[in-house]
Amino acid sequence: MTAPKLAITDSDPSSTAADAVVVGTVQGPDGLALAGGSEAVNAAFDGALLDLLDAVGASGKAEEVVTLPSAGKVSARVVLAVGLGKPAADGTVTEEQVRRASGAAARALAGRKRAISTLSALHLGPAIEGTVLGGYSFTTYKSDKGDGAVGKVDFVAPAEGNIRAHRATLKASTAIAEAVTTTRDFVNTPPNDLFPASFAERAAALAKAEGLEVEVLDEKALRKQGFGGILAVGGGSSRAPRMVRITYRGPKAGKKIALVGKGITFDTGGISIKPAAGMDEMTSDMGGAAAVIATVVLAAKLKYPLEVTAWAPMAENMPSGTAYRPGDVLTMYGGKTVEVLNTDAEGRLILSDAIVRACEDQPDYLIETSTLTGAQLVSLGKRTSGVMGTEEFRDRVAELGRAVGEQAWAMPLPEELRGDLESRVADLANVSGHRFGGMLTAGVFLREFVAEGVTWAHIDVAGPSFHSGGPYGYTTKGGTGVPVRTLAAVLADIAANG
């Protein structure tokens, strides 16, 4: 996908030459109403824009798109009115409403050369993010590439602030959105092209382009250093596993953060093979690794005053004569032993190796994210991530995730679940003997490998990282890029507040 060119403007949107001018509508207490920022466009229609929209059935419903010919009233060829939904009692709309409306508008603008958006007058950053993400499409493997994203979007500057601050917002919001689209690209790339070695190569190239430190451990190095979990999970595939470490050292770095992401490039379930239905979606099982790779590169682009290291263990979980088996006992990195009861609980095994190694560098915070359990979908659905870990930090991560529009909910790690992981022959088993509390039990398992004193959070994105339905808001079909914006918000918050 070619992203649109983005710019800030303080020009009158009614007199700016463009293919379309975007205005917002809301479901006001008295019916359809125009959102803030549309005053100049309405004036150009002699105050009759609302009546025209009402006449063609506009309601202001969230993400509704209505297009009117401008008839020469404004310089743009058409007026594209997009619904924001119901405003608050004081008439304001949220950042997420603007983000979603901008995403819907971006899809409607596909193929146009230039547009000017007044939604940015409400919330600039969300309007930018929504435009980039809503206009995203993955067409690498399609013969017909479609219309493509709108060529250029000018965003009307908010009344508050100055042009320098607005340009800084443009830079940061664009970088965040691009980190999300990078993650989406990784997730959407099919597993015959994205396997551990090629994933590692692409990640390394992305990091080196920003001047970051990169280390890639191949199967020989993994064996020499004792990464038993990664080697076991990847042992059934002809495509050998990898571990990628990418480090960014920011100016005057105040805190050290480790990001760990699950990189299962395809998951058959191994010997404990999955049902055929829906297995194609397991191409997304490396979404956590993609997210942490994109996030550490984002940290470098935005020059956060932090030291951030991304750890991405990568493996393909396949059944074969060399695959690991239920009943095997693995010696993990650091020496702890795990009895395998189910080879489809493989993510926690590669993550445990990476977590132990990451803790050796004594980070102030460790954030791990993964498409870890089907139980996450059972508990929270397809759009809400489950966040576990050190309680205060867990709550902080979940709150920041919700603030940027990535639904997240804090979940407990009940002590009694540790007993369900007792093994007959090893330090612990990789699954419990029942189906109850599977998401929490996986979190309890990971906690066993976090070093004492390390503040940590685990984000289970099994549902939110991949969208199998039609587009909505700024979310398109396939990889979503969740939880990149949460991770970016957490890093920014740590940089500001420690």
Q: 136: Cβ–Cβ under 8 A, 6 or more apart, which residues? A: 1, 149, 181, 184, 476
pLDDT value for 3: 82
Residue 164 resides in a domain:
no
The answer to whether residues 200 and 125 belong to one domain is: no
Closest CA to 21 of 155, 123, 142: 155
Residue 337 resides in a domain:
yes
* Alpha-carbon dihedral angle through residues 82, 84, 89, 92, given to the nearest 10 degrees: -80
The answer to whether residues 56 and 193 belong to one domain is: no
Cis-peptide, bond into residue 305, ω within 30° of zero: no
pLDDT value for 1: 63
Query: Can you tell me the distance from the alpha carbon of 191 to that of 112, in angstroms, rounded to the nearest whole number?
Result: 33
Number of domains in the chain: 2
The answer to whether residues 134 and 194 belong to one domain is: no
Phi-psi category of residue 11: left, alpha or beta, with phi > 0 → left and psi -120 to 50 → alpha:
beta
The answer to whether residues 304 and 424 belong to one domain is: yes
Residue 163 resides in a domain:
no
- Point out the domain boundary residue: 98, 121, 156: 156
Residue owning tokens 């009940």? 414
Residue 172 resides in a domain:
no
The answer to whether residues 130 and 249 belong to one domain is: no
pLDDT value for 404: 98
- Pairing between strand 306-317 and 242-249? antiparallel
Q: Do residues 247 and 309 touch, judged by C-beta distance below 8 A?
A: yes
- Pairing between strand 5-9 and 20-28? unpaired
Model pTM? Answer: 0.97
Sign of CA dihedral 180, 197, 468, 384: negative
Q: What is the CATH number of the domain that holds 358?
A: 3.40.630.10
- Domain range for 95: 5-156
pLDDT value for 433: 84
Q: Do residues 341 and 326 touch, judged by C-beta distance below 8 A?
A: yes
* Residues counted in the chain: 498
Closest CA to 6 of 115, 100, 104, 105: 115
Query: Can you tell me the distance from the alpha carbon of 234 to that of 72, in angstroms, rounded to the nearest whole number?
Result: 63
The answer to whether residues 107 and 195 belong to one domain is: no
Residue 161 resides in a domain:
no
Tens digit of pLDDT at every position of the chain (498 positions): 678 999 999 999 999 999 999 999 999 999 999 999 999 999 999 999 999 999 999 999 999 999 999 999 999 999 999 999 999 999 999 999 999 999 999 999 999 999 999 999 999 999 999 999 999 999 999 998 888 889 999 999 999 989 999 999 999 999 999 999 999 999 999 999 999 999 999 999 999 999 999 999 999 999 999 999 999 999 999 999 999 999 999 999 999 999 999 999 999 999 999 999 999 999 999 999 999 999 999 999 999 999 999 999 999 999 999 999 999 999 999 999 999 999 999 999 999 999 999 999 999 999 999 999 999 999 999 999 999 999 999 999 999 999 999 999 999 999 999 999 999 999 999 999 888 999 999 999 999 999 999 999 999 999 999 999 999 999 999 999 999 999 999 999 999 999
Query: Can you tell me the distance from the alpha carbon of 4 to that of 171, in angstroms, rounded to the nearest whole number?
Result: 14
Residue 165 resides in a domain:
no
The answer to whether residues 249 and 148 belong to one domain is: no
Residue 381 resides in a domain:
yes
Q: 363: Cβ–Cβ under 8 A, 6 or more apart, which residues? A: 256, 257, 258, 309, 454
pLDDT value for 2: 76
- Write out the two tokens for 133: 């993400």
The answer to whether residues 100 and 26 belong to one domain is: yes
* CA triple 384-284-337, angle to 5 deg: 90
- Pairing between strand 213-217 and 242-249? antiparallel
State pLDDT tens for residues 425-468: 999 999 998 889 999 999 999 999 999 999 999 999 999 999 99
The answer to whether residues 142 and 205 belong to one domain is: no
Q: What is the CATH number of the domain that holds 150?
A: 3.40.220.10
pLDDT value for 145: 84
Closest CA to 401 of 466, 327, 489: 489
* CA triple 135-171-127, angle to 5 deg: 40
The CA-atom distances, in angstroms, between 331 and each of 169, 180, 306 are 48, 35, 33
The answer to whether residues 145 and 200 belong to one domain is: no
Residue 401 resides in a domain:
yes
Sign of CA dihedral 204, 225, 233, 417: negative
The answer to whether residues 185 and 152 belong to one domain is: no
The answer to whether residues 149 and 216 belong to one domain is: no
State pLDDT tens for residues 314-333: 999 999 999 999 999 999 99
Give me the active site residues, please.
274, 348
